[in-house]
């Protein structure tokens, strides 16, 4: 459950409790799509870099190793030896990202597997069953993520169907939690607000799903083609209709600047593949802005990635050495950089929380929101 401890403007400082621990918010969830962080980070590494919540992907784990195998192994926590909270997404984003391989009906969605092309059907009930088998603490409702921009008539049709799917998800989640052999009987279902870039559709949908009295709510379908300002405008439009006593999650966002700006607009939870993906291409975040370690100017630079950072990488290795690892195509380069970037994001959230605790978030935002978007 969620306790709102303090506010500064629309920004919120809170505490979320679930079966596997207590989470201080605002928080960034570290994305381990297939039960591991891309870049060779283990569950132990996540503890060392300050991760509070791990996020895994329902669709991918359903394909490999299959959710039934994960359940036989005792659930995802035991399987990947992570004892903290886990959120699983519903597979709904794959409806969007695998657009050329799927067909949407009222019952659900038929996919062609991206691995071998075999047909997969997933509807609200199937998504809930897979996530129940995984045993995550937070399961996300099955929804359709609409591309931006999209015709208004299609957006309204899709949102209405997403609402009907949510009603089915709620019923199935309750049924599964009551089963004797369920992995995590305290699994919480969070609903997802959709509506493209149409504020009135978004607001109407948010009102309807708020009436279902779920433990948390997400804003989905953003960071998929709209501008940053359009995203901020949608958050501002929807936020007043999100229950104050429930968690708010902005799905798939984003840059450090996006996160600071979304916190200022009332968001509690974030996730994004960006820090790990950028790290694997030598693009690293620092407290002065982003750098690209492949740049020749770092060839003999014996400073750490960020002199202001105290992550395990910055305490030991130099820019010159890590750049050499990239040029030599050594796997260690990716591991070190992913570790640094995720530590940076986790530390960013810690500094945001501290600023909120001390009543100086507005000052923090002024100092860092623009600065962290720079490339240096």
pLDDT tens per residue across span 153-185: 999 999 999 999 999 999 999 999 999 999 999
Q: Indicate the DSSP class of residue 243.
A: -
Q: Where is 56: in which H helix or E strand?
A: strand 54-57
Last residue of a domain, one of 218, 241, 272: 272
CA distance 241 to 135: 30
211 in active site: no
User: Is residue 267 domain-shared with residue 286, that is, in the same domain?
Assistant: no
pLDDT value, residue 111: 79
Which among 67, 89, 137, 268 is annotated as catalytic?
89
Residues 346 and 220 in one domain: no
Q: Are residues 35 and 149 in the same domain?
A: yes
First to last CA, the chain: 41
Question: Which residue is catalytic, options 67, 268, 271, 306?
Answer: 271
Q: Which domain holds residue 321?
A: 282-373
Same domain assignment for residues 290 and 170: no
CA distance 149 to 101: 20
Residue 140 falls inside a structural domain: yes
- Domain at 263, CATH number: 3.20.20.105
pLDDT for the residue numbered 320: 98
Domain stops at, among 272, 299, 316: 272
| Domain endpoint, select from 219, 252, 272 | 272
Q: For the chain, list residues with pLDDT below 50.
A: none
**How would you label 232-268 residue by residue, b for 16+ Cβ within 10 Å and e otherwise?**
bebbebbbebbbeebbbbbbbbbbbbbbbbbbbbbbb
Residue 171 domain-assigned? yes
| Overall pTM surpassing 0.75 (yes/no) | yes
Looking at the fold, whether 297 and 262 belong to one and the same domain comes out as no
Residue 277 lies in a domain: no
Q: Tell me, what's the pLDDT at 275? A: 98
CA-CA distance, 53 to 20, in Å (whole number)? 10
- The pLDDT of residue 91 is 79
**Count: domains in the chain:** 2
Q: Kindly state whether residues 135 and 244 are assigned to the same domain.
A: yes
From CA 281, how far away is CA 294, in angstroms rounded? Answer: 9
Active site residue 89: yes
Give the pair of three-digit tokens for residue 87: 């959120």
Per-residue pLDDT at 115: 84
Residue 15 to residue 8: CA distance in whole angstroms: 15
């Amino acid at each position: 459950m969620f306790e709102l401890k303090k506010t500064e403007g629309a920004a919120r400082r809170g505490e979320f409790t679930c079966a596997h621990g207590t989470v201080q918010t605002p928080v960034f969830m570290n994305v381990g799509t297939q039960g591991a962080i891309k870049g060779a980070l283990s569950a132990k590494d996540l503890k060392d870099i300050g991760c509070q919540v791990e996020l895994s992907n329902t669709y991918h784990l359903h394909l490999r190793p299959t959710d039934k195998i994960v359940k036989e192994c005792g659930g995802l926590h035991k399987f990947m030896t992570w004892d903290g909270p886990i959120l699983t997404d519903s597979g709904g984003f794959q409806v969007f990202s695998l657009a050329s391989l799927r067909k949407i009906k009222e019952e659900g969605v038929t996919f062609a597997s991206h691995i071998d092309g075999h047909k997969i059907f997933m509807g609200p009930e199937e998504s809930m069953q897979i996530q129940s088998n995984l045993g995550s603490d937070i399961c996300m409702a099955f929804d359709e993520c609409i591309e931006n921009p999209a015709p208004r008539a299609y957006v309204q049709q899709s949102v209405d169907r997403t609402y009907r799917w949510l009603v089915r998800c709620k019923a199935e989640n309750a049924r599964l939690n009551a089963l004797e052999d369920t992995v995590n009987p305290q699994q919480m279902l969070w609903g997802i607000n959709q509506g493209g870039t149409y504020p009135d559709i978004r607001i109407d949908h948010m009102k309807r799903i708020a009436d279902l009295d779920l433990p948390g709510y997400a804003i989905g379908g953003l960071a998929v083609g709209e501008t940053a300002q359009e995203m901020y405008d949608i958050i501002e439009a929807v936020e007043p209709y999100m229950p104050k006593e429930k968690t708010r999650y902005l799905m798939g966002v984003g840059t450090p600047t996006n996160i600071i700006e979304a916190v200022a607009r009332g968001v509690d939870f974030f996730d994004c593949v960006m820090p790990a993906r950028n790290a694997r291409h030598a693009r690293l975040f620092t407290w002065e802005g982003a750098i690209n370690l492949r740049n020749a100017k770092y060839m003999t630079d014996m400073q750490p990635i960020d002199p202001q950072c105290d992550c395990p990488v910055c305490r030991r290795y130099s820019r010159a050495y890590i750049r050499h690892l990239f040029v030599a195509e050594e796997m260690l380069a990716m591991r070190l950089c992913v570790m640094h970037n995720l530590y940076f994001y986790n530390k960013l959230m810690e500094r945001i929380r501290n600023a909120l605790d001390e009543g100086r978030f507005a000052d923090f935002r002024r100092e860092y929101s623009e600065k962290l978007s720079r490339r240096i």
